[in-house]
Amino acid sequence: MEPCDACRALVGKPSTVAPHGDLAAAGFCTSGSPGHMTRVSNNWNCTVCGSWLYQNTADNVVPNKWTMGKRPLDWPEDK
C-alpha cells in the first residue's frame, strides 16, 4: 500500500507534532545496554494505509523528527 496523505505530511515534522488521528500507538524502540536503555522512538501504525511512523527522540539517528520506515521486527505480522 501507498502511504496516505496524512502520513506523508507528518514525515520530517518535529517529533513534538502530535500524531494524526489514524495512527495507532504500537510501542517504542530502545537501544543501549541493560540498565542504560535510551528511548529512541515511539512506534505508530496507520490504520488507514498501514504505514509505520516513528516519533524520534534526540538520541535517534534522525533526531527529533517523524520518520517512516519498515514494520518493527518484534511486531507480529498477523494478529
46-68 residue pLDDT tens = 999 999 999 999 988 899 999 99
Please, which pLDDT band fits residue 79 given cuts at 50, 70 and 90? very low
Please, which pLDDT band fits residue 35 given cuts at 50, 70 and 90? confident
Those residues with Cβ within 8 angstroms of residue 62's Cβ, 6 or more apart along the chain or in another chain: 56
Q: How far apart are CA 26 and CA 32, in angstroms?
A: 20
pLDDT surpassing 90 at residue 37? no
- List the 38-46 sheet strands across, edge first: 23-31, 38-46, 52-56, 66-69
Exposed e or buried b per residue across 11-34, where buried means at least 16 C-beta atoms within 10 angstroms of its C-beta:
beeebeeebbeebeeeeebeeeee
pTM, rounded to two decimals = 0.84
**21, 32 contact by CB (below 8 A):** no
**21, 5 contact by CB (below 8 A):** no
Please, which pLDDT band fits residue 75 given cuts at 50, 70 and 90? low
